[in-house]
Amino acid sequence: MPVVYPDAFLEVRYQAPKPLPPTIGLCAGYDGGVWRSEQLAAHLFNWLPYAALSQEHQLAFGSNNFVDMLRVAAAHIYKTKRTVTRGEIGELMLHLACILHCKTIPVMCKLVLKTSSNDTVKGFDGVHLLPKDPSFDLWLGESKFYTDPQEAIRDAVKSVKEHILPSFLKTEKAMVFGHVAPDIPHREEVLTLFKSQTSGDELLKRAVFPVLIAYESKSVADHDIVAGPYVESLKKEVEDLRAYFNGKANGITLRFELLFVPLGKKQDVVDRFDKLLEPFL
């Protein structure tokens, strides 16, 4: 029985294919001249069970137990300790953006492994699969939920460089191996890639690295309606960030997919998301 996901909320305002990394700009838009931080936070909250619960729990989610399931999901975000960066929101965005806008199938999301007593789970922020008849690509995601987009890009590139080191891949494979859902397409091939006996080089041959950058946008701040001037401004902004990423990733022979999510005020999203989460903690 397939998981039924919430409808899309973010809209594609910019899209560019190869030869530079394929890039998508996703936009929350405005309502009455106000950037839709409240609606974005609600959308992220709706996705919480699909990113912070195992597939078994997702399929068991229903009207008879939704409060209990939301409490379980919320515990994977935080219990009593709230971080300043709230990187979990970036992981949620990465998860839903890959599924809704890139048509991937989640193998696992690291939020499933996070609890109040284990809030330092490292590694790729999401592991997805993109079927490509007759084979597949393995998507190993990195997300950054920052104020400054250039800082986010620098840190994302640094993280990817660290994550492809043999010592890291060995640990990452061991972590993921036991969490591959039973009905994932090409499951046996996926499991083989994450076995300790398989070289990390084989995994990297299959790998695509989606990098999501959620950031405070000048284009968002300078406008109050989705119209031509805003779209053109955002297009230029995302193109500049794409070029900046290319400069920082120069020499890295990996396949990337870039996902940019321009924000109004990051803290507005954090505050509204936390308020929705509080009753379930």
Token pair 């620098």 is found at 154
The model's confidence at residue 49, banded by pLDDT at 50, 70 and 90, is: confident
**Confidence band (pLDDT; 50, 70, 90) for 51?**
confident
Q: Confidence class of residue 81 from pLDDT cuts 50, 70 and 90? A: very low
> Tokens for 119?
């809030």
Q: Is 117 a residue whose pLDDT tops 60?
A: no
Q: What is the mean pLDDT of residues 29-56?
A: 88
User: Where do runs of H (alpha helix) occur along the chain?
Assistant: 37-52, 55-60, 66-75, 87-102, 149-163, 166-177, 187-193, 200-206, 218-222, 228-248, 266-277
| Least confident window among 81-90, 98-107, 220-229 | 81-90
Q: If you average pLDDT over residues 27-47, what whole number do you get?
A: 96
As beta bridge partners, residue 108 has: 127
- Asked if 94 and 26 touch (Cβ cutoff 8 Å), the reply is no
Residue 128: pLDDT above 70?
Answer: yes
At residue 32, the pLDDT reads: 97
Mean pLDDT (whole number) for 39-64: 76
For the segment 189-211, the average pLDDT, to the nearest whole number, is: 95
Mean pLDDT across the stretch 37-45?
A: 95
Is the pLDDT confidence value at 112 over 90? no
Q: Residues 44, 46, 52, CA angle at the centre, nearest 5°?
A: 80
Contact of 23 with 16, CB cutoff 8 Å: yes
Specify the higher pLDDT residue, 32 or 119. 32
Q: How far is CA 77 from each of CA 112, 210, 249, rounded to the nearest angstrom?
A: 9, 22, 30
> What is the reported pLDDT for 261?
98
What is the model's pLDDT at position 161? 96
